């Protein structure tokens, strides 16, 4: 694990969400339809001439677009899978950190994209009453720097 890898956690999650949105957009894409009017007659005597409206789609044009969309969708899914593997790898690396306090701070910093002031506030808020430790912005920053330096 290194700082560069940790910094990718949040942006990777955002990219995965973007890819999921693109896949959903492809699923919901409407098939272009064509509407036309034709003339015909009724089925029964006196066979009166009538206008009919028909709806359909250009099968040749749609087939080409569908093939291109499916190829694009496969590429997006492949990229999404690759990014999800990276997230799993990062989770596995975080699990290896023995110190719970450092693990929490690292998650807040790199997964939740919090700044050091927010992390200190969150750590102080979740800190139980028996532990009189008070976290400051500087203390949290130093902990992260020391941890990353010792990797």
Instruction: Locate the domains of the chain by residue range.
Output: 97-151
Q: Are 96 and 141 in contact (CB under 8 A)?
A: no
Sequence-distant (6+) residues with CB within 8 A of 90 are 1, 5, 6, 8, 9, 12
* pTM of the complete model: 0.62
Give the pLDDT confidence score for residue 13 in this predicted structure. 87
In which residue are the tokens 């990014």 written? Answer: 83
For residues 20, 89, 117, 133, the Cα torsion angle rounded to the nearest 10 degrees is 140
Q: For 17-43, how does the pLDDT look when each residue is reduced to its tens digit (9 = 90+)? A: 999 898 888 777 766 677 888 888 878
Tell me the HSE value of 107 on the side-chain side, using a 13 A CA sphere: 15
Question: Can you say how many angstroms the Cα of residue 86 is from the centroid of all Cα atoms in its chain?
Answer: 13
């Amino acid at each position: 694990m290194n700082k560069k890898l940790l910094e990718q956690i949040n942006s990777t999650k955002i990219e995965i969400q973007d890819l999921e949105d693109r896949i959903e957009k492809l699923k919901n894409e409407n098939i272009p339809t064509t509407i036309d009017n034709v003339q015909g007659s009724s089925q029964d005597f006196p066979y009166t001439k009538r206008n009919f409206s028909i709806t359909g789609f250009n099968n040749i044009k749609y087939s080409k677009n569908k093939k291109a969309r499916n190829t694009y969708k496969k590429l997006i899914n492949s990229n999404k899978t690759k990014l999800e593997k990276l997230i799993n790898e990062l989770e596995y690396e975080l699990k290896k950190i023995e110190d719970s306090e450092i693990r929490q701070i690292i998650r807040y910093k790199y997964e939740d994209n919090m700044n050091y002031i927010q992390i200190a506030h969150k750590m102080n808020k979740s800190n139980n009453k028996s532990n009189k430790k008070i976290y400051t912005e500087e203390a949290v920053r130093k902990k992260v720097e020391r941890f990353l330096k010792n990797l």
